[in-house]
Structure 1
Amino acid sequence: MTTDLSKLTAAATKWDDMAGEFKKLETQYERDVHGISLGQTWQGLSADAANSRFGVTLNEYKAEQKEAKAVAALLRDAHTQFVDLRSKLKSVRDDAVKAGTKVSEQGYVSFDTSRLSDGERTAYVHDRSYQESARTAAGEWNQAIAAAVKAVADADDGVRIALAAVVVDSNSLDGTFNGFNSGAKSDVEEYEAAHAKDIATRINSGEKVSAADLAELQRSFRDNSDNKAFSQTFLNGLGPSGTIQLGNNLNDKAHSGNGDQQKLFRSITSGLADTLAGATRPPAFKDSEGKTLKYGTAGYQKAFDNWLKQDDGKFYTEWREGLKKAGVEKFDLDVVGDKIAVGTGHGQEARGYQSLVTLMQQGSGYSPQFMADITDDMIAAEKKDPDIWDLHGKFDGKKEGWFANDPVDGALNLMSRDPDGTTAYLDPGAGGKNDRLEYLLKERDWDTVDTTQWTGNIERTGGDTADSDARTGLGAALEAAATGHPPLRPGQDPWPVTPHTEGQARIMHGVVSGLGPDQSVPENMREPLSRAPASYTEDTHQILGGMGSSQYVNSTTDDGYFRDGDKVHMAVTQKDLAQFMRGLSDDPEAYATLHKAESRFISLEMEKIPQDATGFAQSNPLSNAGAALGAYSAIREDVINDERMTAYSAADWKSKMAYHVIGGAVTPLYFTTAGGVSIAFGDSIQRGVDTWAWFMGNNLKAEADTTANAGIADHYLNATNQMNLMVDSWADDRRDIDADARAGLKSEILHGHDRGANITQKYLTDTTN
Structure 2
Amino acid sequence: MTLTCQDILDTDLSTLSTAAKSWKSMGERFGELKTDYDTHIRKTLGNGTWQGRSAEASRTHSTATAHEFTAAKAEARAVSALLSAGHKQLSRLKEALSTTLSDARAKGYHVDTQTGRVRVDWNAKPWTDLSPEELRAVKNDPGAVAAAEADWTSTVRKRVQAVCDADADLRTALVNVTVDDDGKGSAHGFNGGASGDISVNTAERAVQLADKGADMTATELNGLDDLLARHAKDPTFAETFAKRVGAQGTVDFWHGMAPYAAERGSPRARLLARVREHLGETLGTATRSDSPAMRRWEREMTDLGPERQGGHYAPRGYQVMADLLRHGDYDDRFLHTYGDSLVRFERDAAADGRSPADLWTAHRGTDAYSVEQLDNPWGNDPLADLMRGMSRNPGASTAFFTDPATFDYVVGNPGETGQGTVRDWPDVALPYGGTERAAGHDELGRALEAAVTGAPPGDPSSGLHRGPDEIKVMHRVMETYGGPYSPREAQPGISDSLGRMGAAYVDDLNYGLEDYGGAAEQIGSGRITGTDGHGIDPAVAAGFMRELGRDEESYRIMSAAEEGFVASRIHQFAGTDDVYRAAEIGAKGHGALDEARAEQIGADFRDDAAQRNAKLEEAANWKKNVASVAVYTVGGVAGAVAPEGSILIPATIGGGGAASVSAINEAINNALASDTYDNSGQSIHTLDQFDQRALENATEAIRNHASQGSLDENDFKEKLGRISYEYSAGRRIVDTENSQ
TM-score band (shorter)?
0.7 to 0.9
Q: CA deviation at 1:680?
A: 5.5
Corresponding position of 2:448 = 478
Q: Distance in 1 between matches of 2:583 and 2:24?
A: 83
- 2:330 equivalent to 1:356: no
1:230 maps to which of 222, 237, 243:
237
Cα separation, 2, equivalents of 1:726 and 1:54: 91
CA distance in 2, matches of 1:185, 1:646: 77
Q: 2:330 aligns with which of 349, 357, 366?
A: 366
SS in 1 for 2:246: helix
Aligned partner of residue 358 in structure 1, secondary structure: helix
Work out whether 1:187 is the aligned partner of 2:153: no
1:199 alignment partner, one of 209, 221, 240? 209
Q: 1:720 to 1:223 in 2, by over 3 A?
A: closer
Structure 1 equivalent of residue 509 of structure 2 = 540
Distance 2:465 2:428 in 1: 46
Instruction: Quote the offset at 1:9 in angstroms.
Output: 3.0
1:551–1:571: 8 Å Cα contact kept in structure 2? no
Query: Take 2:581 and 2:179, find their aligned partners in 1: how far apart are those partners?
Result: 84
Residue 33 of structure 1: which of 34, 41, 53 is its match? 41
Letter in 1 for 2:446: A
Match of 1:147 among 152, 158, 175: 158
Pick one of 734, 737, 745 that aligns with 2:712.
737
CA contact (8 A) 2:587 2:724 kept: yes
Q: Are the aligned partners of 2:254 and 2:320 in contact in 1 as well (CA < 8 Å)?
A: yes
**For 1:252, what is the secondary structure of its paired residue?**
coil
Q: Identify if the C-alpha distance between structure 1 residues 743 and 642 changes in structure 2 by more than 3 Å, giving closer, same or farther.
A: same
**Structure 1 range deviating more: 273-282 or 163-172:** 163-172
Asked whether the equivalents of residues 361 and 379 of structure 2 are also in contact (C-alpha less than 8 Å), the reply is no
The 1:608/1:8 distance shift into structure 2, 3 A limit, reads closer
Matched, 1:761 2:726: no
- Structure-2 change in CA distance of 1:272 and 1:698 (3 Å): closer
CA distance in structure 2 between the aligned counterparts of 1:442 and 1:18, rounded to whole angstroms: 68
1:60 aligned onto 2:38: no
- Distance (whole Å) between structure 2 residues aligned to residue 449 and residue 547 of structure 1: 40
> Which residue does the alignment assign to 2:634?
none
Shift of 1:322: 1.7
Taking the aligned partners of 2:89 and 2:517, their CA distance within structure 1 comes to: 61
String of CA shifts for 1:695-748, please: whole Å, max 9, x gaps: x99982556xxx94787995476455446756643433332322x333323332
For the 8 Å contact 1:423–1:503, the answer to whether it is kept is yes
- Which residue of 384, 391, 403 maps to 1:416? 391
Partner in structure 2 of residue 517 of structure 1: 483
1: CA distance, partners of 2:111 / 2:22: 38
Change (3 A) 1:198 1:582: same
Amino acid of the structure 2 residue aligned with 1:329:
E
Point out the more displaced range, 597-606 or 235-244. 597-606
Matches within 5 A, 1:287-298: none
Q: Contact conserved, 1:593 with 1:660, CA < 8 A, in 2?
A: no
* 2:374 equivalent in structure 1: none
Mapped contact 1:8–1:75 kept (Cα < 8 A)? yes
Q: Distance in 1 between matches of 2:297 and 2:266?
A: 34
Q: Distance in 2 between matches of 1:172 and 1:644?
A: 76
The separation in 2 between residues aligned to 1:726 and 1:566, in whole angstroms, is 19
Distance 1:673 1:193 in 2: 44
Preserved CA contact (<8 Å) 2:213 2:253: yes
Question: 1:461: which partner in 2?
Answer: none
For residue 457 of structure 1, what is the aligned residue in structure 2?
none
TM value normalised by structure 2: 0.76
Deviation at 1:754, TM superposition (A): 3.6
AA aligned opposite 2:317: G
Q: Residue type matched to 2:286 in 1?
A: A
Q: Note if contact 1:255-1:262 (Cα within 8 Å) is conserved in structure 2.
A: yes
Asked whether the 8 Å contact 2:546–2:592 carries over to 1, the reply is no
Structure 1 residues 56, 747: closer, same or farther in 2, change over 3 A? closer
Q: CA 1:379–1:750 in 2, change beyond 3 Å: closer, same or farther?
A: same
Q: Contact 2:75–2:190 at 8 Å: present in 1 too?
A: yes
Deviates more, 1:654-663 or 1:575-584: 654-663
- Closer/same/farther in 2, CA of residues 148 and 97 from structure 1, 3 Å limit: same
1:632 maps onto 2:612 in alignment: no
Structure 1 stretch displaced more, 36-45 or 599-608: 599-608
Report whether the alignment pairs 1:213 with 2:213.
no
Q: In structure 2, what is the Cα distance between the partners aligned to 1:161 and 1:637?
A: 66
* Aligned residue in 1 for 2:555: 591
Map of 1:383-532 to 2, 5 A cutoff? Answer: 383-386=347-350, 387-388=355-356, 389-391=359-361, 405-419=380-394, 422-423=397-398, 425-426=400-401, 428=402, 436-442=406-412, 445-449=422-426, 467-488=437-458, 500-518=466-484, 520=486, 521=488, 522-532=491-501
1:317 partnered with 2:295: yes
> Can you give the 5+ residue segments of structure 1 that lack an aligned partner in the other structure?
283-306, 308-312, 338-346, 394-401, 453-464, 556-560
Instruction: Select 1:162's aligned residue among 173, 177, 180.
Output: 173
Q: Which runs of 5+ in 2 are unaligned?
A: 1-7, 364-376, 414-420, 430-434, 630-639
Q: Relative to structure 2, which stretch is displaced further, 604-613 or 363-372? A: 604-613
TM-score by length of 1: 0.74
Residues 550-604 of structure 1 show CA distances to partners (whole Å, capped at 9, x for unaligned) of 467999xxxxx99999966433223222222222233212112223333444445
Measured after TM superposition, the shift of residue 276 of structure 1 is 1.0
Cα 1:562–1:138 change in 2 (3 A) is same
How many residues of Structure 1 are paired with residues of Structure 2 in the alignment?
668
Deviation sequence 1:372-417 (CA, Å, 0-9, x none): 3322332233232243544269xxxxxxxx9782322332233223
Query: Cα offset for 1:201?
Result: 2.6
Residue-by-residue CA offset, 1:610-650 (whole Å, 9 max, x unaligned): 6585xxx6875565455444323432332123369999953
Q: Does residue 1:135 correspond to 2:146, yes or no?
A: yes
Which of 283, 305, 316 aligns to 1:276? It is 283
Q: Is the 8 A contact 2:24 2:76 kept in 1?
A: yes
